[in-house]
Copies of this chain bind each other. A is one copy, B any other.
Amino acid sequence: MQLTEREEGGVAILQPKGKIMGGPDATILREKIHDLVSDKKLRVVIDLSKVDWMNSNGLGILISGMTTLRDNQGDLKLANVTDKIQSLLTITKLITVFEAYDSVEEAVSSFGARA
């Protein structure tokens, strides 16, 4: 997994790329989330369009990112959930836990006006 970051309208957009399968992946994303918390960038969108596939490790990363941000008065939302990931979210019932949008733009604007 590679991770790139950009900002749009006061929202941080993280784009993981490749496969999320374990090993160093969780550490990379966890440290990034904690950097964002320290920088008070508490509104985060994960753009999943470039993720080939993920296993339960990837799901765990998304959950811990979301709970960490919520614990710090922020939130994490998903954008561009691929069919493969959608079906994992469905069978694990995580679909009920995440807010997901069809595009980064929609996810960003769901946060409302810049704080």
Residues of A within 8 A of B (CB): 26-27, 30-31, 34, 64, 67-68, 71
A64 to B27, CA, bound (A): 15
Chain B nearest CB from A105 CB (Å) reads 29
A67 to B74, CA, bound (A): 14
Tell me the number of copies of this protein: 2
* Binding site secondary structure of chain A: helix
Chain B residues contacting A64 (CB-CB under 8 Å) are: 34, 68, 71
From B27, B31, B68, give the contact of A68 (CB < 8 A).
B68
A27 to B26, CA, bound (A): 13
Chain B nearest CB from A55 CB (Å) reads 14
